[in-house]
Structure formats: C-alpha cells, structure tokens
Structure 1
C-alpha cells in the first residue's frame, strides 16, 4: 500500500472530501492495479460512508474515460438509455426492452451495459437469453452499429482496467459509486442519454456530472417508488440537461401522456429466462398493458432525448407506433441475427 493511498483512506475515515487531484490519483491507482483488493474495498466503503461529491465523481469519470477503449462511430442523433441498477426493485429489464422500441422508431441506440451485479438479470444476461451475442469487441461493435443502428457494448470489453475493481465489488455485494459511474462511461461517447438512478440525490448528481462533461442532452431520473426508470406506479423526478442544466428536478406524472398508474407487482420480472420471455411478448403485442406501457414510456424519453421529436408527446406516439407496427420486433430480431453474424467475423 502506498503512503499516498493510505493517506486518502485516512481522509475518508474522518469524513473528509477528496480534492480533484486526490480523486484522480486514487482512481488511477485503482485502474493501474496499484491497489490491492482490500484497499479497493476500503476505498469504496469509505466513499460510500462519507458520501461522494460531484467533484470527486467527475474526476473519477474523467480518469475512467481516458482509460477506456473507444468505439468510433457516428453518434449524431443516437442515444444511450440505462439505469444505475441497485434499486432492488425486481423489475424486468425495462431499458433493454426500450432499446428495441427506440430503434424501431428510427433512433440509433448505443447502449452500454453489463452482467448482473446486484439483480437477477442484467442487460447482458437477458440479451444472451434472447439469443443475441452481447459480448462484442470494439471492431465488432462498430460493424454492428454501422449495419443496424444498434449496438450493446459490454462494459468489461471497453473498460479492461475495471478487472481490478470487480473482486471487491463482488465481495461487498453493496451498491457503490461505480453504480453511478457505469452509465457515464459510454465507450462511444454518446451525446444524448437517459439515465435512471437509484435515488433522487444520485439523479441530481449525475445530471451535474454530465453537465461538467459537456453532454449535449440528457435526462437523469428517479421514480418516487425508487425505480431507476420512469415509473408507472406514480410520479418520477426528472432532471433535464439541454445545453445547460435545469434548476432542480421536475415531477413527471405518466398520466400526462395518457398512461394509467399500475401496481408495482405488475412490473416484476425474474431471472434472465423470465425477463426474455416478457420482452418477446411485449414486442409481439402479447404482454400485459403494464409491461408494454412502461417500455414505451421509457422509450419516449429516449426518443425525445435524442432530439428526434420536439415534444415528449410526439416521442411517445413514435414509441407506441414502433410496437404496434412490429418495427420494435423487427429490430429485436435483426439485433439477434446480426450480433450472431458479427461475432463470428
């Protein structure tokens, strides 16, 4: 253990915030493999106990972006939609399902995600269960996106230094600041994002970080029921970034777009097999209204964030049409087929 890293742990132990240069040093030490698993765990727990600041998190993101493998594609008009995870809700993979609805509405999708860390089924797990190949490298991802307007970028393939963090995260089994950082590390440096967060505070911090990092347009949000998606069980708090960050969050009610509230149980999923079945049923028009509606609602926010429509109402109509016309199903099938093909190239 270096004296410098030990000194930072000491600071965290007495609830002192890190300076930008200290946060930068700490993250570089971790990503370079210069900190042991025990030190990484101590750092993660120290940050969690103290509470992370926007300054610290911005520095972490900058270091991690520099260390990542870049997917070089045209990101104009494209969007990433994802959640932080860690909301303990047990819902099916809503943003993954919404990906195909967004693509079916003609909006390119550059989705960044991972295997499950704290849930039964992460984006990777459910895509694999659907028959797709989510484990693509840089060249394959670029080819996939250029041919289909969609790609799923598996985080470990683009952030190889994260291998030094995973043992501690798996051992801790707790939400850490990496839940917040993941959605901010899109390998294609996409300019438009919708990010669901596990808390209102986290959503606000992520909006500020994105503003610090010159993101073009984004929604960060947290539902009143704790969901890291726009919910149908009630209202959601939404921060909007569009050239500048809006002052505070806006309370959004799905009834404003004509949706009815539902019970939380109606949005539950399970393991990857169950969630894959739900997604197929949504695309085929055979799901429950609640399952379909929460996907089109979240897709609407992504379509609007991408700049494809002037209003959220218009974006919602596009999302609904994507499912009703079968375009979303077509994009799902295309994604499965092309990812299999590209993975063998």
Structure 2
C-alpha cells in the first residue's frame, strides 16, 4: 500500500476558510475525492492527516456541502464490499417481475435515518422496512447504535435471537432475495470494512464528521430504485435531497419531523418537512436529474392516522423493542397504538415514494392488510430461513412454504415473492 500526503489539500482547505467568497470549485471536489479514495483503501494516510482533514471539513462547513458529500458517497460505495447479484437468475427475475405494481418496477428500496436527533425514538425505520417488505424488495442498510439506546442492527439481532444474523456473507444476499424473502439486512461494517481503521480517530475527535453524514447514503447494493432518508435537522434536508439528485436518484424523499431541532423520521405528533425527488419525464435525455419538490406531511391530514406524543414512541432496550416488533408482525397490537401508528406512516410513505401507490392513505391500508395477513412476518421468517441455509455457505436447503393472501390484488407466494394480480404482471 503506497503512502501519500494530503498536505496540499489541507492548505487548499485553509485558503478556502480564509477566503471572503467561499466557492466550492471542481478542483477542490477532485482533491477531496482523491484524499478519501486514499483513506478508504488506495493508499496510506497518517492518522494525523486523517484527523486534520475531517476537522477541516467540519469547521469549514464543507462536510455538509452537497457536491462534496455526493463525491465522498460515491468513493465510499466504490470502496465497499460488493453484493453479488445475478439478474439473470430465473427466480430473482421472476420475483422482480411479480413485485411490479403501478410505478414501482421491482427494484431495491431502503429507509434509513441519520440518527443523532437526540429524541431516542423507537426503531421506526427498521420496523417500517419490515412492514413494507411484502410489497417491496427491501435492502435495509444499518449499523449499531451510536447515539441512541437501540440501533438498527441491535434490534435486528434481538429480533433474530442473536448477533449471528449480522454475519451473513454478501455472497448470500442475492440468493436469499431470489429464494427466500423480499428482505435483507446489510450490516454496514460488513460492507464498509475500511471504516474500521478510522474508528479510533473519529472517537478521539469527539464531534460529527462527514462520515456521520455519508453513512445513511452509502447503501452498498446496486440498483436502488427508491429510498427515504430521515435527517436530524431541517438544514440537512436540502443537502441530502441535492446529494440524492446528484447521485442520479429518480425516486427518493428526505424527511425531517418538526419536533425540537428536528426528528429523523416522519413525525407522529405533527408536521414533517419533506424534499421529494420527482423522476424526469419519460423521454427525457439520458442523465436528466430528478427535480426536488418541497412540501409538508401530516399524520391526520395525509395518512388518516391520529396524532401521538413523541414521548409515547420512545425506544426501550433492543430486546424490548424486538418484543414490540414481534407483536406488530403477529398483528397483536391494538389499533391506535402510538408505535404502531408511527411505523404505519413511515412504511406507507416508502410505498408511495417507490410508486406502489400515489395515495398516502391507500398506502396505510396496504400496510394494514399486510399485517392482517401476517405477510411481513412471513417475509421476516423467510429471511431467517435464508440466513440459516447460507450461514455456512452450504447453499439453499428446502425453501419453506410461505402461503398467504393479501387483499388489493397482492399475494405472497411460496418463496416469498409478492405477486400483483391487479396490474396484469403475473
């Protein structure tokens, strides 16, 4: 591994900080991109220079600049461990075809928050991913808790009965999608292995760096069709939507609940600020970026769901949260439960952004129907079965029978495929 210096870049950042007119030039973006390519795997950068770069980007405010964030995200994803996917696999191709519904094309989706909003709420994004899985191909990217009681992977581990669920090799993910479930959990450290060497530096710095910003954007799987990103303050909403736009995302929404300084999910207690990417019209030239539409969502007005105080949606321990999720998946939670409604509006929003329906209330009804038929539970059980089959690289065993019927024309087939009879794509 070659050693190289980023001292010239650090001098450039010092000049930027001192400049009266601060302009993010293409040269600056190129230099920062090269530095992170080195840090993430192509060369050896000293801890002193790593710390200096992260500090400079934070205190110049450049760690929140959309051009720079999108460049670093691209570099992170290029350095990440790949998820092998065989799009020519008959079962996988059939699953994608059967999942198509209205403007959803059967691609991967994700829902994730930045964290760090200080509210310590329930594992809403992870639960919403589970609830949406009968209708969408969900590649949930997540990590351990950094600032909350229960992070995404902490709750998933508790739900699965142990951390073994996080050790699934990337090579198994595509096979699980093809044969077992519409759902997979991508544990961030498994894919972003180069970040391990930065852990000590980041801990010693003691403040947020650009890695706190780019993490939620760095899902390693290819072919993400739609995503929802929750941000911890309203100022980040425009940044993240512009980053998604620059990444070429055509379906996406950034959300920030109007609670305190901000809530990184759709709020159960009032309005939520939204920045939604609207796909370029059919026939647009290749490379045409999506447009960004700003608006607000409200639980009652838009989703038909009652308001709940955020205090009733707090996170407990990972195991306590997992017990609540089990009750939700088994359809044992009474209507009007605060956490249930909190998850309903967020999972419903994912269906709308993906294009399953264009009506927020209709999306809520779809999620409810899936819960009534325990379709989300079956997708989770299918994922567990797939993980067990591939945990020792033994290849697939017997695919468990998963049979249920959901109204509105959606049927869960024996291999976890969601077939849509309503749009004639069976």
- TM-score, with length taken from structure 2: 0.75
Matched, 1:258 2:290: no
Instruction: Give 1:23's match in structure 2, choosing from 18, 24, 32.
Output: 32
| Contact 1:57–1:209 (CA under 8 A) maintained in structure 2 | yes
Taking the aligned partners of 2:59 and 2:332, their CA distance within structure 1 comes to: 45
Matched, 1:228 2:264: yes
Matched, 1:318 2:362: no
Q: Which runs of 5+ in 2 are unaligned?
A: 88-95, 97-105, 281-289, 394-426
298-307 or 245-254, larger mean C-alpha shift: 245-254
Aligned to 1:82: 112
Instruction: Give 1:100's match in structure 2, choosing from 119, 122, 130.
Output: 130
Aligned to 2:194: 161
Aligned to 1:238: 274
Report which of the two has the higher share of helix: 1
Distance 1:69 1:266, change over 3 A: same
Taking the aligned partners of 1:341 and 1:142, their CA distance within structure 2 comes to: 13
Taking only aligned residues, the RMSD between alpha carbons, in angstroms, comes to 2.2
Matched, 1:135 2:139: no
Aligned to 2:410: none
Aligned to 1:42: 52
Following TM superposition, by how much is the alpha carbon of 1:13 offset from its aligned partner in structure 2, in angstroms? Answer: 5.7
Q: Deviation per CA, 1:17-74, whole angstroms, max 9, x where unpaired? A: 6521122122123213523334333322322222131111121112112212222435
Matched, 1:152 2:198: no
Aligned to 2:14: 10
41-50 or 80-89, larger mean C-alpha shift: 41-50
Taking the aligned partners of 1:14 and 1:262, their CA distance within structure 2 comes to: 47
Following TM superposition, by how much is the alpha carbon of 1:341 offset from its aligned partner in structure 2, in angstroms? Answer: 2.9
88-97 or 268-277, larger mean C-alpha shift: 268-277
Taking the aligned partners of 1:107 and 1:249, their CA distance within structure 2 comes to: 25
Matched, 1:268 2:297: no
Secondary structure of 2:167's counterpart equals coil
Matched, 1:125 2:154: yes
Q: Following TM superposition, where does structure 1 have runs of at least 4 consecutive aligned residues deviating by more than 6 angstroms?
A: none
| Contact 2:83–2:220 (CA under 8 A) maintained in structure 1 | yes
Instruction: Give 2:207's match in structure 1, choosing from 149, 160, 174.
Output: 174
| Contact 2:81–2:191 (CA under 8 A) maintained in structure 1 | yes
Matched, 1:191 2:225: yes
Following TM superposition, by how much is the alpha carbon of 1:280 offset from its aligned partner in structure 2, in angstroms? Answer: 1.5
| Structure with bigger gyration radius | 2
Distance 1:14 1:286, change over 3 A: farther
Distance 1:231 1:12, change over 3 A: same
| Contact 2:277–2:293 (CA under 8 A) maintained in structure 1 | no
Taking the aligned partners of 1:192 and 1:341, their CA distance within structure 2 comes to: 29
Aligned to 1:330: 378
Q: Deviation per CA, 1:135-182, whole angstroms, max 9, x where unpaired? A: 222202222222212111111222222223222233344333222212
- TM-score, with length taken from structure 1: 0.91
Following TM superposition, by how much is the alpha carbon of 1:304 offset from its aligned partner in structure 2, in angstroms? Answer: 1.7
Following TM superposition, by how much is the alpha carbon of 1:124 offset from its aligned partner in structure 2, in angstroms? Answer: 1.1
Q: Which runs of 5+ in 1 are unaligned?
A: none
Taking the aligned partners of 1:248 and 1:167, their CA distance within structure 2 comes to: 39
Aligned to 1:299: 347
Taking the aligned partners of 1:331 and 1:142, their CA distance within structure 2 comes to: 15
Secondary structure of 1:249's counterpart equals strand
Following TM superposition, by how much is the alpha carbon of 1:301 offset from its aligned partner in structure 2, in angstroms? Answer: 1.1
Distance 1:290 1:47, change over 3 A: same
